A = this chain, B = another copy of it.
Amino acid sequence: MPIRVNDQIIHKAAWLYYTHGLRQDEVARRLEISRASIAMYLRRAREMGIVTITTSSELFSSDVLARELEDATGLTTAWIVPEDRQAMNPAAEVPEVAASVFLELINKGDRIGVAWGRTVYHIADVMPFADLKGVTVVQLCGNLGAPYSYRPDQCTTEIARRLNAEGVNIYAPLVLSSERLAEELRAEPVIREQLATISDCRLSLYSVGGIEDDSHLVKCGALSADEMHAMGERGAAGVIAGQIIDHNGQWMDCAHNRRCISADLNSIRAIRKRMLVVQEENKFEPLLAALKGGFASHLVVTASMARRIMDRWSRDGLGRSAPAKP
């Protein structure tokens, strides 16, 4: 673009305005020209690269990555836990960040849905204490009777305790032995009401489970390793609130899911602030599925995971929902 009116004057205007911080009318007076022209010169200066506006990338690399991730995936906000230069497991910091962020996302009077898992429990464990009277923490999925370290109701209760909020547990098992029973239980007024209020939540917190043999559902005995394996063959990609989702984040029509007492996935999607937290590096595929399924508006991950998402997202040519550059 060889549009050069008289770039000397453009340089001069740009210098006075940007470097010296004069106002446009001052520049105009000094250059003895109308202010409108100055405004035009300055636009040209920007277009021509005489002035450059940059946001630091090295210094705030994790922030930049976060912004790029948001732009690519349409997340409202992403928090990236940087790989610390000196060792120290970055994944270990994820719950800390998540807890801190989570707290900030809570508003007065909110109803908050909390799911279940190792990550969620860790977050509960480092959740700062607060005084959030009027806030209600509801359990997003049924309980696992099995004696396992991180029970759904524990997560809910612990978080509610720390926030000094009201905790509401679901008094039902996560998985029942027959579909019929599950259906009947879901129809019970107590349970039904509870599940119905989930879409009223303004914030939810969960991680996404994997479908490996060491996945939660398998470890807790909700599914056998073989069954899980078979699900994998049929296209399962991850677990959200106890329910299995496919690679596009859609509910899978399978025996397990039909036997589950848990939040309807569409209810979860209806929650405005859906905070997804992923610690483990091996949860990449489940995470991807959860993102595609619209289960996250807010995300906390490690930098390496963020980069992997970025890579895959662009490779697969998945659109961006972010605003275009003018």
Residues of A whose CB lies within 8 Å of any CB of B are 3, 5, 7-8, 11-12, 14-15, 18-22, 30, 45, 49-60, 62-64, 66-67, 71, 77, 79, 84, 86, 93, 96-97, 100-101, 104, 129-133, 164, 322-323, 325-326
CB pair A62–B15 under 8 Å, yes or no, is no
Given contacts A12-B67, A52-B54, A67-B15, contact A21 B79 (CB under 8 A): no
Q: A5-B100, A20-B323 are in contact. Are A131 and B164 (CB under 8 A)?
A: no
Please state if A104 and B56 are interface contacts (CB–CB under 8 Å).
Answer: no
Q: How far is the CA of A7 from the CA of B96 in the complex (A)?
A: 17
Residues of B within 8 A of A101 (CB): 5
Contact check, B21 vs A326: say whether CB atoms are below 8 A apart.
Answer: yes
Given contacts A3-B100, A5-B101, A62-B8, whether A164 and B56 have CB atoms under 8 Å apart is: yes
Q: What is the minimal beta-carbon distance from A310 to any residue of chain B, in angstroms? A: 15
Is the CB–CB distance between A49 and B58 below 8 Å? no
If A8-B59, A11-B59, A325-B21 touch, whether A51 touches B54 (CB-CB below 8 Å) is yes
List the B side residues contacting A52 at CB < 8 Å.
53-56
- Name the residue of chain B whose CB is nearest to the CB of A31: B77
> How far apart sit A30 and B66, CA to CA, in the bound complex (Å)?
16
Docked-complex contact A55 and B50, CB < 8 angstroms: yes
Find chain B residues with CB under 8 A from A59 CB.
8, 11-12, 15, 49-50, 131, 164
Q: Cβ of A67: which chain B residues have Cβ within 8 Å of it?
A: 11-12, 15, 19
Contact call A58/B164, Cβ cutoff below 8 A: yes
- B104 A5 Cβ-Cβ under 8 A: yes
A-B contact list, 29 entries, CB within 8 Å: A3-B97, A5-B100, A5-B101, A8-B59, A8-B66, A11-B62, A12-B63, A14-B55, A15-B64, A15-B67, A18-B53, A18-B54, A20-B322, A20-B323, A21-B325, A30-B86, A45-B55, A50-B55, A50-B56, A50-B58, A50-B59, A51-B55, A51-B56, A52-B53, A52-B54, A53-B53, A54-B131, A56-B131, A59-B131
Report chain B residues within 8 Å CB of A57: 131
Q: Given the complex, which residues of B lie within 8 Å of A30, measured CB to CB?
A: 84, 86
Q: What chain B residues lie within 8 Å of A50 (beta carbons)?
A: 55-56, 58-60
- Pick from A11, A30, A56, A63 the residue with the most CB of B within 10 Å: A56
Instruction: Report yes or no: A19 in contact with B100, Cβ–Cβ below 8 A.
Output: yes
Q: A5-B104, A12-B67, A63-B11 are in contact. Are A19 and B96 (CB under 8 A)?
A: yes
